[in-house]
């Protein structure tokens, strides 16, 4: 029997330490965006965490991605991180249903000087995705919208991803409920089914990271 690999469980103190030890992107625009989003109350927790935003930015720039897509934009923090990882001339397509939340996003993208590299399309993401052409392919995708829509978003995104391209998917641990059999609501069962489907998908290699609420990273194989 192989020994269990070492892992470090996070508590709040350790999590704060971890967040403090990322390269700072917390300029004035990000601080204002996060503060304005916090005013939304409970909904604010939908926003990606600062460590996750840093990871997205680093992944985009490290992979040299030029064409990115995001499904689930909210007030625009994760999109801002992705856009900042793109090279000059890079493009990010954002999909969301909410005109109200994305109006906040548009303001901050403009303030950050990345508004010209982001296109926002409003409407149910499944419809917008299905209407996209197969080419040109995306280099990077971030999926973070309604959890029951994940299978469709995954399918439409993976078929439009270039070989070697990356997909990141948020909330794959669902507060740990994925391993609590007593939790059986529609969101957790959808996430469990989705996680099994990713594992069985031979078009990608994937890893689940314990970042924020769980982040799956998948690379499309050639």
Ligand X SMILES: C[S@@+](CC[C@H](N)C(=O)[O-])C[C@H]1O[C@@H](n2cnc3c(N)ncnc32)[C@H](O)[C@@H]1O
Q: Using an 8 Å Cβ cutoff, are 31 and 23 in contact?
A: no
Residues 88-107 interacting with ligand X (rule: CB under 6 A): 95-98, 101
Sort 6 into a burial class: Cβ within 10 Å, 0-12 / 13-18 / 19+: exposed
Q: How far apart are CA 217 and CA 103, in angstroms?
A: 29
Indicate which single residue of 25, 124, 152, 155 sits in contact with ligand X (rule: CB under 6 A): 124
Q: Binding pattern to ligand X, positions 32-61, x when CB under 6 A?
A: --------------xxx-------------
For position 187 contacting ligand X by CB under 6 A, the verdict is no
For position 149 contacting ligand X by CB under 6 A, the verdict is yes
Sign for the pseudo-dihedral over CA of 12, 17, 20, 23:
negative
Binding range to ligand X, per CB under 6 A, among 2-10, 11-19, 71-79, 174-182? 71-79
Indicate which single residue of 146, 183, 187, 201 sits in contact with ligand X (rule: CB under 6 A): 146
| CA-only gyration radius of the chain, Å | 17
Residues that bind ligand X (CB under 6 A): 46-48, 72-75, 77-78, 95-98, 101, 124-125, 144-146, 149
């Amino acid at each position: 029997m192989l020994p269990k690999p070492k892992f470090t469980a996070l508590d709040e103190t350790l999590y704060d330490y971890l967040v403090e030890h990322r390269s700072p992107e917390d300029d004035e625009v990000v601080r204002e965006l996060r503060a304005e989003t916090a005013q939304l109350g409970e909904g604010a927790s939908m926003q990606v965490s600062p460590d996750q935003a840093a990871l997205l930015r680093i992944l985009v720039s490290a992979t040299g991605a030029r064409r990115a897509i995001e499904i689930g934009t909210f007030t625009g923090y994760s999109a801002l991180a992705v856009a900042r990882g793109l090279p000059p001339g890079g493009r990010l397509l954002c999909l969301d249903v909410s005109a109200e939340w994305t109006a906040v996003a548009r303001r901050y993208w403009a303030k950050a000087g990345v508004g010209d590299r982001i296109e926002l399309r409003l409407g149910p993401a499944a419809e917008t995705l299905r209407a996209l052409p197969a080419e040109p392919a995306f280099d990077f995708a971030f999926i973070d919208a309604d959890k029951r829509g994940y299978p469709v978003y995954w399918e439409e995104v993976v078929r439009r991803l270039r070989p070697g391209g990356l997909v990141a998917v948020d909330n794959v641990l669902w507060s740990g409920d994925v391993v609590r059999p007593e939790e059986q609501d529609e969101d957790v069962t959808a996430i469990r089914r989705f996680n099994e489907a990713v594992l069985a998908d031979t078009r990608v290699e994937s890893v689940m990271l314990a970042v924020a609420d769980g982040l799956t990273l998948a690379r499309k194989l050639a």
